[in-house]
């Protein structure tokens, strides 16, 4: 049975949530615990601190990304270790760059070379820390890369998605370089980067394109698609185009939306700061959400992807951070009234948050 078999793909929220809580999340937690144990053995104290911190405070990225394994439980033993390892690399490097002792763009690019190597099963391992002072991670990053490569080698159609995966990961790596350089250079570099893509995505604002490049959801769906022996390159590209830029952009704009207060205090770049006001923010995000809903209609099992979109909205808009920010609450109410399905996920996620905090 492949994920394409209609019986294998969740068709309603109840089935999806049952699979998540019964099969997916326990395995994600086990994988994260294993990586945490490895991180605790990192010799360099700064690298160890950032690795542990990324697992402790960003574990929800792995839990959310692993939703794609719920569409193919038969292959969850490949997909979940792959998704967790790849997302752990992403979160660890984001921490290293966010709280970096360096502002060198070449350092950031070399660190993120590990992500490009992770999605290339034949790539040799590199010296990813060569341009920074902290270097001894006890093999932690190499082990993460090797885990991804080994999992990808087990996906029967990975060769057909490889080009699309590499494109999305390349965009992600570019973003991570530009958003972490010296604050006085970030916006100009991001705008110059955007110019190369403006003709292709002219309906977007530059901050919306940049946000879309920061999502790993398109990559995870391509991992799932690669479990299908009947997949071909044309369908892989159609999947990429259905997820990027709108599903991916919605994902990251919601993340930035709820983090605005934190980012103001920390002086961090936030792509929602570039909207004129709350009304514009709500209108633009709602428009991207609507485009995302239209894009996924072209995919197999569109109801599964619709649940991903509505679940994203519910996940972020039910976050306790929303209640503390008046403008974000207003945006949340505007987005929520658009979708009864999203309201269901909102309710379910709110219940889960209350129970998990007890």
pLDDT of residue 273 exceeding 90, the answer is: yes
Query: Which of helix, strand or coil describes residue 300?
Result: coil
Quick one: pLDDT band at residue 354, thresholds 50, 70, 90?
very low
Q: What's the burial of 267, exposed, middle or buried (CB within 10 Å: 0-12/13-18/19+)? A: exposed
Give me the pLDDT at residue 356, please: 45
Question: Binning pLDDT at 50, 70 and 90, where does residue 352 land?
Answer: very low
User: Of residues 204 and 279, which shows the higher confidence score?
Assistant: 204
pLDDT digits (tens, 9 = 90+) for 242-252: 999 999 999 99
- Helices (DSSP H) in the chain: which residue ranges? 13-19, 25-39, 45-57, 59-65, 76-98, 105-118, 140-152, 158-180, 183-195, 206-213, 217-225, 233-243, 246-258, 260-266, 278-295, 302-317, 320-323, 326-336, 340-356
Residue 141 above 70 pLDDT? Answer: yes
Its sign, for the CA torsion 42, 43, 47, 53, is positive
Quote the pLDDT of residue 357. 41
Average pLDDT over residues 179-202: 95
- Per-residue pLDDT of 318-351, as tens digits, reads 777 777 777 777 777 767 665 555 555 544 554 4
pLDDT of residue 347: 47
pLDDT of residue 1: 37
**Residue-level pLDDT at 166:** 98
Q: Residue 233: is its pLDDT beyond 60?
A: yes
Q: What are the structure tokens assigned to 116, written together? A: 């490009």
Q: State pTM to two decimals.
A: 0.91
**Which pLDDT tens digit goes with each residue over 50-102?**
999 999 999 989 999 999 999 999 999 999 999 999 999 999 999 999 876 67
Chain centroid to CA 72: how far?
19
- Give residue 348's pLDDT: 53
Mean pLDDT value of segment 133-151:
97
Structure tokens at 90: 């992403």
Mean pLDDT value of segment 270-293: 92
Say if CB 137 and CB 49 are below 8 A apart.
no
Contact between 51 and 42 under an 8 Å Cβ cutoff? The reply is yes
Range of weakest confidence among 28-37, 189-198, 245-254, 303-312: 303-312
What does the pLDDT average to over 281-303? 93
Which residues make Cβ contacts (< 8 Å) with residue 309, sequence separation at least 6? 247, 250, 289, 292, 293, 296
pLDDT (0 to 100) of residue 337: 64
Statement: residue 172 has pLDDT above 60: yes
Higher pLDDT, residue 112 or 334: 112
Instruction: Give residue 355's pLDDT.
Output: 42
């Amino acid at each position: 049975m492949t994920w394409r078999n209609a019986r294998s793909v969740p068709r309603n929220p109840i089935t999806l949530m049952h699979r998540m809580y019964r099969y997916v999340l326990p395995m994600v937690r086990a994988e994260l615990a294993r990586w945490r144990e490895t991180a605790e053995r990192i010799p360099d104290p700064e690298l160890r601190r950032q690795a542990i911190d990324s697992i402790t405070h960003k574990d929800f990225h792995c839990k959310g990304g692993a939703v794609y394994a719920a569409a193919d439980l038969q292959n969850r033993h490949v997909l979940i270790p792959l998704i967790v390892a790849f997302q752990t690399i992403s979160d660890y490097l984001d921490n290293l760059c966010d709280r970096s002792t360096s502002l060198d763009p070449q350092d950031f690019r070399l660190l993120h070379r590990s992500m490009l190597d992770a999605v290339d099963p034949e790539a040799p391992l590199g010296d990813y820390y060569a341009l920074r002072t902290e270097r001894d991670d006890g093999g932690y990053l190499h082990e993460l890369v090797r885990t991804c490569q080994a999992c990808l080698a087990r996906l029967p159609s990975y060769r057909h998605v490889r080009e699309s995966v590499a494109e999305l990961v390349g965009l992600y790596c570019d973003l991570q370089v530009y958003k972490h350089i010296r604050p006085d250079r970030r916006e100009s570099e991001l705008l110059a980067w955007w110019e190369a893509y403006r003709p292709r995505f002219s309906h977007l604002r530059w901050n919306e394109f940049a946000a879309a490049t920061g999502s790993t959801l398109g990559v995870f769906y391509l991992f799932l698609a690669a479990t299908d022996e009947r997949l071909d390159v044309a369908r892989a590209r159609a999947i990429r185009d259905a997820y990027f830029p709108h599903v991916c952009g919605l994902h990251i704009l919601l993340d930035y939306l709820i983090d605005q207060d934190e980012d103001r205090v920390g002086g961090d770049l936030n792509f929602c700061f570039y909207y004129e006001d709350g009304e514009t923010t709500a209108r633009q995000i709602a428009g991207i959400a609507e485009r995302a809903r239209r894009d996924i209609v072209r995919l197999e099992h569109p109801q599964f992807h619709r649940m991903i979109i509505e679940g994203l909205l519910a996940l972020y808009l039910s976050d306790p951070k929303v209640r503390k920010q008046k403008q974000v609450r207003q945006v949340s109410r505007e987005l929520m009234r658009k979708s009864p399905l999203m309201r269901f996920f909102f309710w379910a996620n709110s219940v889960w948050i209350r129970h998990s905090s007890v």
